[in-house]
């Protein structure tokens, strides 16, 4: 005879919160909802598929370990997971001798528009970030696109845009600071997450 | 500006540096030196961990990317990895909500005492095996950890070398440019050489709106060289703004060609060589804008003091 004990389940509990509690079923759900997202980011920022697979596994280990730190008041799950993914990939790039810069990467204005579903559907902040990005100065926007989306180094960006290294840093810092402030203002003024 | 304060509620130059490092961390990542510096400053200023820049960077990433399906083999590996991770975590906590089921229990036909002895013996045997496996694994693990630590040290050292080489390259590039500037003809020499030729462009500057300034510009499309003669253009402070020349092509290309960033250091007449960043086809006009220091990739044209157009465009 199987004894089953059912308790109440909170309606608003997120997948990550359930992972943090050790709910095995949440693993599948997390992979279903965010597996492709993590893979896409890892593939874009890795030299090849094998490296991207390693990176994806490392990222999910971090996700399982840090699921308990997710705070729904600060961001969506997609943003939290993307944050973990980016940190892991940046660390890997810094330690790896095979820097993304030295791999033939086609800097293409259309590289953000390949076949596939938009990330932006996964998180409201992404849609807001897209709007806020348009309000930045063109140089700041360009530097952020090259650094964040393509993960190009400051030196590479400096060569590509023919601007001094110090200017690259200034544009990146100003751009990300303004974007952060704009997104924070959106949240405070009631742009619901 | 406040001097350094140990009072965490007052703003200090260290707060500015912390924000710089947090921004760099979110966009490019930090070197180990920078990471140590950030940790030390955060500790001194008693600041909590701040992930707002990282969230902004993540939001930008999400705003631009497309989702591609993960390979099925990888998906399976991650599923197994995740389940192993879950087994290590506890699902028990007051007020937490979980759906549990308990397995059925079938009474055994053996006497309870024998069952108990067998159970204890099995547990002890398993314990000994586990201990043996654990100590063996620890020894292997220890060796691997040592090797990993050595590799990480080597990587850190190579990373520092790479940083040092980049700095040397930057310094040599700057020295090279300085040398080139010394031997290259100056703006006045270029202007005088071209100004009297009949086969080059020579157009007068017109002041736009309330701007001051006049002079003319010469440009040889074939050699892609030219110079500007500027008269009474307002002197600029390079720390707050610089002038930038734009070559607007007649072929209707969307963005004009960057003709170089320059300063006007004195009143009266100055000569400035043109430094086109890309090949410029036949111009329809030249424009001088005032921009942030070091110029911009695309001008918003909010401050455009001088314009020079060909006869057909007047």
Per-residue pLDDT, B121:
63
List b or e across B129-151, with b for residues whose CB sees 16 or more CB atoms inside 10 angstroms: eeeeeeeeeeeeeeeeeeeeeee
d(CA A40, CA B44): 39
Q: What is the pLDDT of residues A141-158, one digit of tens each?
A: 999 999 998 888 899 999
Q: What is the pLDDT of residues B203-236, one digit of tens each?
A: 999 999 888 899 999 999 988 999 999 999 999 9
DSSP string, A44-69: HTSSSHHHHHHHHHHHHHHHHHHGGG
Q: Name the residue with tokens 């003709």.
A: B259
DSSP string, chain B: -PPP-S-TTS--HHHHHHHHHHHHHHHT---HHHHHHHHHHHHHTTPPP--HHHHHHHHHHHHH-EE-PPPHHHHHHHHHHHHHHHHTS----TT---EEEE------SS-HHHHHHHHHHHHHHHHHHHHHHHHHHHHHHHHHHHHHHHHHHHHHHHHHHHHHHHHHHHHHHHHHHHHHHHHS--HHHHHHHHHT-TTSEEEE-EE-TT---EEEEEEETTTTEEEEEEESPPP--TTT-EEEEEEEETT--SSPEEEEEE---SSSEEEEE---SS---SEEEEEEEEESTT--SS---SS--EEEE-GGG-
For chain B, percent of residues with pLDDT exceeding 70:
80
- Give the mutation candidate from B25, B30, B49, B67 for the A interface (greatest A CB count, under 10 A): B67
Q: What is the mean pLDDT of residues B21-45?
A: 92
Interface of B with A in 134-153 (CB under 8 A): 152
**What SS3 class is residue A142?**
helix
Higher pLDDT, A193 or B256: B256
Average pLDDT of the residues of chain B: 81
Per-residue pLDDT, B278:
86
pLDDT for B106 beyond 50: no
Counting Cβ atoms within 10 Å, is residue A6 exposed (0-12), middle (13-18) or buried (19+)?
exposed
Per-residue pLDDT, B98:
34
By the CB < 8 Å criterion, does B198 face chain A? no
Per-residue pLDDT, B73:
92
Per-residue pLDDT, A167:
94
d(CA B276, CA B257): 7
Per-residue pLDDT, B188:
92
Higher pLDDT, B97 or A3: A3
pLDDT for B42 beyond 50: yes
DSSP state of A5: E
**What SS3 class is residue A11?**
coil
d(CA B217, CA B225): 11
d(CA B299, CA B255): 9
Per-residue pLDDT, B180:
62
Per-residue pLDDT, B112:
58
Mark yes or no for CB contact B101/A113 under 8 Å.
Answer: no
For chain A, percent of residues with pLDDT exceeding 70:
76
Closest Cα of chain A to B199: distance in Å?
31
Report ipTM for this prediction: 0.84
pTM: 0.52
List b or e across B153-165, with b for residues whose CB sees 16 or more CB atoms inside 10 angstroms: eeeeeebeeeeee
Q: What is the mean pLDDT of residues A131-140?
A: 91
Q: What is the pLDDT of residues A43-87, one digit of tens each?
A: 988 888 899 999 999 999 999 999 999 998 888 999 999 999 999
DSSP string, A71-88: -TTT--HHHHHHHHHHHH
By the CB < 8 Å criterion, does B103 face chain A? yes
Mark yes or no for CB contact B55/A115 under 8 Å.
Answer: no
Nearest alpha carbon to residue B22 among A165, A157, A172, A116: A172
For chain B, percent of residues with pLDDT exceeding 90:
41
DSSP state of A96: -
Q: What is the mean pLDDT of residues A176-182?
A: 94
Mark yes or no for CB contact A148/B27 under 8 Å.
Answer: yes
- Give the mutation candidate from A4, A22, A95 for the B interface (greatest B CB count, under 10 A): A22
Cβ atoms of B231 and B216 within 8 Å: the answer is no
pLDDT for B108 beyond 60: no
pLDDT for B8 beyond 60: no
Per-residue pLDDT, B160:
80
Question: A23-32, B7-16, B90-99, B305-314: which has the minimum mean pLDDT?
Answer: B90-99
Cβ atoms of A19 and A30 within 8 Å: the answer is yes
Q: What is the mean pLDDT of residues B93-97?
A: 35
d(CA B53, CA B42): 15
pLDDT for B92 beyond 50: no
pLDDT for A114 beyond 60: no
pLDDT for B93 beyond 50: no
Per-residue pLDDT, B172:
78
Confidence of residue A2 (pLDDT cuts 50, 70, 90): very low
Residues of chain A contacting residue B52, judged by C-beta atoms under 8 Å apart:
180, 184
Mark yes or no for CB contact A180/B53 under 8 Å.
Answer: yes
How big is the CA angle at B222 (ends B219 and B224), to the nearest 5 degrees? 55
Closest Cα of chain A to B10: distance in Å?
20
Average pLDDT of the residues of chain A: 81
d(CA A182, CA A188): 10
Closest Cα of chain A to B77: distance in Å?
8
Per-residue pLDDT, B206:
93
Mark yes or no for CB contact A35/B75 under 8 Å.
Answer: yes
Residues of chain A contacting residue B90, judged by C-beta atoms under 8 Å apart:
22
Q: Which residue of A has its CA nearest to B166?
A: A155
Mark yes or no for CB contact B69/A23 under 8 Å.
Answer: no
Confidence of residue A187 (pLDDT cuts 50, 70, 90): low
Q: What is the pLDDT of residues B134-147, one digit of tens each?
A: 777 777 778 888 88
Per-residue pLDDT, B119:
66
By the CB < 8 Å criterion, does B254 face chain A? no
Closest Cα of chain A to B135: distance in Å?
25
DSSP state of A136: S
Higher pLDDT, B111 or B295: B295
Per-residue pLDDT, A33:
92
**What SS3 class is residue A3?**
strand
Judging by DSSP bridges, how do beta strands B66-67 and B201-204 pair with one another? Answer: unpaired
Per-residue pLDDT, B146:
85
pLDDT for B288 beyond 50: yes
Confidence of residue B126 (pLDDT cuts 50, 70, 90): confident
CB pairs < 8 Å spanning A and B:
240
Q: Which residue of A has its CA nearest to B69?
A: A36
pLDDT for B105 beyond 50: no
The dihedral built from the CA positions of residue A159, A161, A164 and A166, taken in this order, carries a sign that is: negative
Residues of chain B contacting residue A53, judged by C-beta atoms under 8 Å apart:
71, 74
d(CA B243, CA B249): 19
**What SS3 class is residue A123?**
coil
């Amino acid at each position: 005879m199987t004894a089953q004990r059912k308790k109440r389940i909170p309606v608003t509990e997120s997948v990550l919160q359930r992972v943090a509690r050790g709910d095995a079923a949440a693993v599948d759900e997390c992979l279903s909802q965010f597996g492709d997202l993590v893979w896409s980011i890892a593939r874009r920022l890795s030299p090849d598929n094998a490296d991207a697979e390693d990176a994806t596994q490392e990222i999910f280990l971090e996700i399982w370990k840090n699921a308990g730190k997710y705070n729904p008041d600060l961001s969506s799950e997609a943003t939290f997971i993307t944050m973990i993914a980016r940190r892991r990939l940046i660390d890997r790039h810094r330690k790896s001798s095979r820097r993304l810069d030295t791999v033939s990467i086609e800097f293409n204005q259309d590289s953000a528009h390949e076949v596939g579903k938009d990330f932006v559907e996964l998180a409201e902040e992404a849609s807001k970030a897209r709007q806020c990005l348009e309000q930045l100065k063109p140089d700041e926007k360009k530097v952020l696109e090259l650094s964040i989306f393509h993960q190009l180094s400051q030196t590479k960006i400096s060569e590509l845009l023919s601007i001094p290294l110090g200017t690259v840093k200034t544009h990146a810092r100003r751009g990300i600071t303004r974007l952060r402030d704009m997104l924070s203002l959106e949240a405070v003024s009631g742009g619901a997450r | 500006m406040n001097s350094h304060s140990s009072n965490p509620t007052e703003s200090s130059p260290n707060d500015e540096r912390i924000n710089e490092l947090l921004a760099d961390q979110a966009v490019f990542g930090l070197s180990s030196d920078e990471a140590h510096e950030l940790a030390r400053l955060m500790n001194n200023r008693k600041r909590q961990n701040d992930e707002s820049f990282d969230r902004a960077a993540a939001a930008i990433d999400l705003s631009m990317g497309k989702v591609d399906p993960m390979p099925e083999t990888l998906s399976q590996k991650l599923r197994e990895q995740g389940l192993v991770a879950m087994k290590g975590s506890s699902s028990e906590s007051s007020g937490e909500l979980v759906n549990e089921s308990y397995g059925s229990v079938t009474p055994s036909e053996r006497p309870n005492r024998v069952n108990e002895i067998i159970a204890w013996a099995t547990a002890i045997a398993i314990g000994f095996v586990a201990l043996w496996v654990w100590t063996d694994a620890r020894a292997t693990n220890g060796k691997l950890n040592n090797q990993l630590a050595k590799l990480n040290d080597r990587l850190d050292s190579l990373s520092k070398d790479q940083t040092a080489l980049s700095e040397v390259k930057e310094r040599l590039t700057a020295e090279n440019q300085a040398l080139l500037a010394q031997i290259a003809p100056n703006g006045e020499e270029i202007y005088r050489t071209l100004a009297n030729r009949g086969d080059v462009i020579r157009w007068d500057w017109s002041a736009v709106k309330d701007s001051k300034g006049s002079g003319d510009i010469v440009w040889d499309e074939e050699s892609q060289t030219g110079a500007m003669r500027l008269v009474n253009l307002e002197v600029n402070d390079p720390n707050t703004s610089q002038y930038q020349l734009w070559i607007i092509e007649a072929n209707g290309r969307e963005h004009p060609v960057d003709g170089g960033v320059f300063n006007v250091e004195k009143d009266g007449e100055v000569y400035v060589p043109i430094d086109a960043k890309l090949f410029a086809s036949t111009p329809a006009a030249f424009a001088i804008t005032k921009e942030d220091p070091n110029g911009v990739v695309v001008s918003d044209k909010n401050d455009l003091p001088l314009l020079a157009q060909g006869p057909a465009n007047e």
